[in-house]
Amino acid sequence: MSLPYIFGCQSTSLSREERKFFTDTQPLGFILFKRNCVNKRQVKDLVKNLRSCIKHWAPVLIDQEGGRVQRLTAPIWRSAPAAAIFEEVWQLKPEVAKELVFLNARLIADELFELGIDVNCAPVVDLKEPNASCIIGDRAFSSDPEIAAILGRSAIDGFENGGVAPILKHIPGHGRADVDSHFALPRISSEISALIKRDFKTFLALNDCKAAMTGHLLFSEIDQINPVTTSSIIINKFIRMHINFQGLLISDDLSMEALSGSLSQRATEALSAGCDIGLHCSGRLDEMVEIACANLQFNESSEMRIDTFLSQIKRLKKNRENINYETTMLMFNEKLARARAGH
């Protein structure tokens, strides 16, 4: 039985200590960051070596959104545009914007698939809000829930068409956050009716996505004490019931400063509240050991959702459609340039 965690590693190759820890603990899967990615051959080897520690099929995740958040960077990999670029196009030609989002996601999927990475922590469908922290900003497709949902759907379709499973971020909506949750807990005092009308609406439209990531956010009108990741009220009443999201629910990074308490406490509270998987990203072995020592296991519902998600990954890989990457990239660049120029 694997542990209900996604873990990172410290560098571009596994240390002896990391290999032993992963072999002993059997986490569900792994996540890569920029510190782990130097060139294609190295990333392929790292992915292979991570999986060699695990007895089950271990998904490998990455955050390759485009814009400010991409772990695979130039000059080795393509610099994908930020999501906000596509809203510019939407204002001129909505159908072209949808096509461009699909093509962009399809290109990203090809880049990941080549490396053996099968899950992308994208798209971000939070809304761009005035007077909010810039932590979302141009990562958002739009300030309009309907546009964000339409473009989010195109991104999901593009990733899946390329054999990569998407993870929707950050359910139930990070747009109003007034501070960066990496460093502090955002406190959102908006009325529930306003949240349902705007923030939650995009996720409701995309609730068939097979996986989503929580935001570390305190919605004080719903739960005055616990942020989303550790709030059974928000997870059960709003994510599972109102939004009707029945897919795999993954926490945002447990080491972010928006959460309080020890790492083992954070992991315990997140899974007890209803998250299926705890995500830990720093690659610090001492922190991963602390989380593993909590000795948490999957519950029956989580096991079913994990099985569904892993089956989806295998199905997407099997049914993946081949494209000519260079031709598709040239077509994307040309269409984007023409659209932004108003042609």
Tens digit of each residue's pLDDT (9 = 90 or more) over 244-268? 999 999 999 999 999 999 999 999 9
Read off the CATH number of the domain in which 335 is found. 3.20.20.300
Whether 50 and 116 have beta carbons less than 8 Å apart is answered as: no
61 forms bridges with which residues in the sheet? 31, 119
From 71, 169, 183, select the one nearest 133 (Cα to Cα): 183
Residue 294 has what pLDDT?
A: 87
Q: Structural domain of residue 182, as residue ranges?
A: 3-340
Contacts of 280 (CB under 8 A, 6+ apart): 5, 6, 7, 8, 253, 254, 255, 263, 267, 287, 288, 291
Tokens of 265: 């406490």
Measured CA to CA, the distance from residue 116 to residue 224 in angstroms comes to 42
Distance CA 46, CA 32 (A): 9
The closest alpha carbon to 8, from 61, 54, 56, belongs to 61
Q: Phi and psi of 32, rounded to 5°?
A: -105, 150
Three-class secondary structure of residue 7 per DSSP: strand
C-beta separation of 77 from 115 below 8 A:
no
Name the 3-class secondary structure at 244. Answer: coil
Instruction: Give 82's DSSP letter.
Output: P
Pairing of strands 27-32, 3-7: parallel
DSSP state of 242: I
The rounded distance, in Å, linking the Cα atoms of 134 and 254 is 21
- The domain total for the chain is 1
Task: Write down the pTM of the prediction.
Answer: 0.97
Ranges under pLDDT 50 in the chain = none
Give the C-alpha separation, 175 to 156, whole Å: 19
Residues with a known catalytic role: 182, 252
Task: Mention every residue, 6+ apart, whose C-beta is less than 8 A from residue 74.
Answer: none
Lookup: tokens for 139: 């990562």
- What phi-psi label fits residue 10: left (phi over 0), alpha (psi between -120 and 50 degrees) or beta? alpha
CA gap 104, 99 in Å, rounded: 9
Count other C-beta atoms under 10 Å from residue 337's C-beta: 10
Name the phi and psi angles at 47, rounded to 5: -60, -45
Residue for token pair 């560098």? 11
Q: Are 328 and 106 in contact (CB under 8 A)?
A: yes
Prior bond to 75 cis, omega within 30? yes
- Residue 1 has what pLDDT? 62
**Of all helices (H) and strands (E), which one includes residue 56?**
none
